[in-house]
Structure 1
Amino acid sequence: MKKDTKIIASGRKPEWTRGAVNPAVVRASTVVFDSVSDMKKATAQRHNKTLFYGRRGTTTAFAFQDAMNELEGGVGCALYPSGTAAISGALLSFLQAGDHLLMVDSVYEPTRDLCDGLLSRYGIETTYYDPMIGEGIKALIQPNTKIIYLESPGSITMEVQDVPGICRVAKAHGVMTMLDNTWASPVNLQPFALGIDVSIQAATKYVVGHSDVMLGTATTTAEYWDQLRENSYLLGQCTSPDDLYLALRGLRTLGVRMRQHQSNAMQVAQWLESRSDVDHIRHPAFASCPGHEFFERDYLGANGLFSFVLKQGNAEGIKAMLDGMQHFKIGFSWGGFESLILGHTPEHVAHLRSATSWQAHGPLIRLHIGLEDPEDLIADLDAGLARLAQCN
């Protein structure tokens, strides 16, 4: 099937829909059985989308897991109550005391905090690496290296990694690879075709698409599914069927939403690129973005999230710019229908790195371009940049 058809058809087996268009919301904690024999049969099949106990999931969860497997190309999909829970749950499912983790330096800040805090206390060593290292990562692999973790593009600074190059090295050394694939969503990158072992999504973002659900997924291959599933279960990870229903509903419009986010973002980014006060655009589709060539090679499309760096500005100017925005709202996360904005001083970006240095001298502004009319968003940014300039 073509991508848009697969988005509509995925996770809609008759046993999940029972004749309806959408899978029903099935809530359950306890599942009861007619006989001891039935209980034993369900226990034996508890790994195979069988009603057994609420934490193992209901048909609502099974439908969503099927959909994510079909769209990303995995064999099994573990569900979590947030994207951060998916990251920690996936890492803790495979790491143990004495292991070594290679973590990309441009990673999402809570992931760095997890490595420097909880994982460190558990005796797991983390080495951060340059997101542009590619196959040069071979030099950082130690005898006890268990996982190479990628996030592409990187949070805030948007570096695109050489995913297949890193995966080739990892496989040659018997090292697992995990990818935070949230930016691409399940439709714009096929992680397993590039060699990834575990693909993580903050489904909170583009999958749900309406900024009203916290949800995470970790999809994997047959080789790693049993361990991921059982360890995530032991960690107590489970999700609400109501949230999963909203995720399934959001999923159906993912293709058209992503195309509109991409189109709107390109229009805004091209306008920003033409301004004399903008140093450069950090959008994977632009040549000024590190790793642009890997985006061109590996990705099927973009979305609404990118950053740009100004030639000059200060914290007071960033505050003036953001406080006066009309259509852009100040907020964390992204992936909903609304436009968002965050501003970062060079010092703030620099403190989020340890293996690489941040060279830009002006502020970095991260935008999520929503589904509003781009002309209104451009006018809002134009006025905001004027406010920032007055503080220089």
Structure 2
Amino acid sequence: MGSNFDGDLAVSTTLCHLGRPSGEKVPVNSPIYRASTISFETMAQLEASKADKFKQGELFYGRFGTPDVFAFESAISKLEGVYGTIAVPSGLAACVLPLVAFLKPGDHVLVTDSVYEPARVALDSFIQRNGIEITYYDPRIGSDIRDLLRANTKMIYLESPGSLTFEIQDIPAIARVARQSGILTVCDNTWATAICMKATALGVDIVVQAATKYVIGHSDGMLGLVCAGQEHYTALRAAANWLGYRVSSEDVFLASRGLRTLSLRLREHGQNGIRIAKWLECHPKVKKVIHPALPSHPDHAIWKRDFTGASGLFAFVLNSEDRASAAIFAEALNIFGLGFSWGGFESLVLPGDPTNSRTATRWNERGSLVRISVGLEDPIDLEADLKQALDKIPD
């Protein structure tokens, strides 16, 4: 069994076995390897390894990976249904890697207007500085994205649902246009993970994800994933080398451990999230709930078609337009924490304002936006905490 495990089994069963050591008398979990230098017996071995340093599982130098990293990457590749995965130091590092690997001066990239804000900063501050043109597009554009293509368009960057405002993109329609034009597609799939949506099955070429969130799942590690087919894998590995990316073996250990319970945790996050979203929809101080799994969401039909489940992250809009009301609410919470990131076992809120981070679309919603990450606490307790905090907002 172990690393050779395969089969047509439930995902929860598969996750318990992927990327584990195989053979007789082996540990159940991959040990942590701390290594920089790899020793070779002969010059021939050294030169052969150097010539093939981007090959999957090739032990060459610590920065290129160690056996525990290779085992984890292999597990993710099987889960995602791709040729290879590259583990990188953070989710933002994963977002940036395909841009560095495949774009050059004079190229043009189309990016969803709802993209993760740190990725947008990297695009505007770093990628654009290198002579690459960027056009942000309406995340609901669908197949009409063909009207934005240029002769020098090389990539379309998607994220579904979008950060903060949770638009669901018509990934198959966009991917179909891209393939017809020979354009590469990249999709950030952190919200759903491969458990709830397989982006490559919908036509995407490269999938990026912040394993910091649901994969690690305990708010104690930083890791990013870049998953791709064989035709793009080596270029991504080469770019990771240019950037000096190297992942911590300790963080990979945490991610490997988190992988075993990912399906179970995500199911609980999703069920709790939908319950809390429905509860918020009925509260008089909440103007609107933005959750793709609710029929009230404008993209619910697309979500239902392309996704097999939901995670615990969504947003809602308070009736009050005074941002101070959002602060009163957030600071009154006892169980929910106030902080960045999400996907851990603990529930979080984060007031936000998409107004100044959009150029292709406008955020016209009147009222204060709050992003909410529903954790693994009992939903009855979470509802009580939300109620007492909402009650503190002045009428």
- What's the TM-score once normalised by structure 2's chain length? 0.95
Alignment-derived partner of residue 29 in structure 2: 22
Residue of structure 2 equivalent to 1:351:
356
Separation in 2, partners of 1:240, 1:183? 23
Choose the corresponding residue for 1:369, options 365, 374, 387: 374
Q: Which residue of 2 aligns with 1:35?
A: 42
Spell out the pairing of 1:1-392 with structure 2 (5 A cutoff). Answer: 1-14=9-22, 19-46=26-53, 47-344=55-352, 348-388=353-393, 390=394, 392=395
- SS for the counterpart of 1:138 is helix
Instruction: Give the Å deviation of 1:229.
Output: 1.1
Q: How many Å apart are 1:38 and its aligned residue?
A: 2.6
Kept in 2: contact 1:162–1:291 (CA 8 A): no
Moved more, 88-97 or 285-294: 285-294
Cα distance between partner residues in 1 of 2:391 and 2:124 = 39
By how many angstroms is 1:50 displaced?
Answer: 2.2
CA distance in 1, matches of 2:307, 2:94: 23
The CA deviation string for residues 59-103 of structure 1, in whole angstroms up to 9 with x for no partner, is 011011001101111111112110001111221111111110100
Tell me by how many angstroms 1:44 deviates.
Answer: 4.1
DSSP 3-state at the match of 1:156: coil
- How far does the alpha carbon of each residue in 1:199-225 deviate from its partner, in whole angstroms, 9 at most, with x for none? 001000000000000100100011111
The whole-number CA distance in structure 2 between the counterparts of 1:194 and 1:317 is 41
Identity in percent: 45
C-alpha RMSD over aligned residues: 1.4
1:78/1:21 CA distance change after superposition, 3 Å? same
- Is there any run of 5+ residues in structure 1 with no aligned partner, and where? none
Question: How many Å separate the matches in 2 of 1:300 and 1:68?
Answer: 18
**Contact (CA 8 Å) 2:274, 2:294: kept in 1 or not?**
no
**1:8 offset after TM fit, Å?**
1.3
Amino acid at match of 2:379: P
Distance 1:148 1:35 in 2: 45
C-alpha deviations, 1:109-154, integer Å up to 9, x for none?
1111111111111011110000000001000011100110000000
**Offset, 1:18:** 6.9
Structure 2 Cα separation of the partners of residues 130 and 289 of structure 1 = 17
**Structure 1 residues 350 and 18, CA, compared in 2 at 3 Å: closer, same or farther?**
farther
CA offset digits 1:328-362 (Å, max 9, x no partner): 10000000000000113xxx321111101112101
Residues 321 and 166 (structure 1), Cα distance of their counterparts in 2 relative to 1, 3 Å cut = same
Cα shift readout 1:162-205 (whole Å, capped 9, x = no counterpart):
01110000001111000000001131111111110110010000
Deviation at 1:6, TM superposition (A): 1.6
Q: Does the CA contact (< 8 Å) of 1:150 and 1:179 recur in 2?
A: yes
Q: Deviations over 1:316-336 (max 9, x none)?
A: 111111111100100000000
1:313 Cα deviation after fit: 3.5
Which segment drifts farther, 277-286 or 164-173? 277-286
Amino acid at match of 1:370: G
Q: Is the 8 A contact 1:158 1:289 kept in 2?
A: no
Letter aligned with residue 108 of structure 2:
H
Q: TM-score, normalised by structure 1?
A: 0.96
Q: Residue type matched to 1:12 in 2?
A: R
- Give 1:385's aligned amino acid: L
| Matched residue SS, 1:49 | coil
Query: CA 1:363–1:297 in structure 2 vs 1: closer, same or farther (change >3 Å)?
Result: same
Q: Distance in 2 between matches of 1:208 and 1:225?
A: 23
Which range moved further: 238-247 or 280-289? Answer: 280-289
Q: Deviations over 1:198-255 (max 9, x none)?
A: 1001000000000000100100011111111111112111101111011000110001
Contact 1:322 1:341 in 2 (8 A): yes
Structure 1 stretches of at least 4 aligned residues deviating more than 6 Å after TM superposition:
none
Residue 14 of structure 1 aligns to a residue whose secondary structure is: coil
> How far, CA to CA, are the matches of 1:349 and 1:45 in structure 2?
45
Counterpart contact for 2:21–2:29, Cα < 8 Å: no
Q: Which ranges in structure 2 are unaligned for 5 or more consecutive residues?
A: 1-8
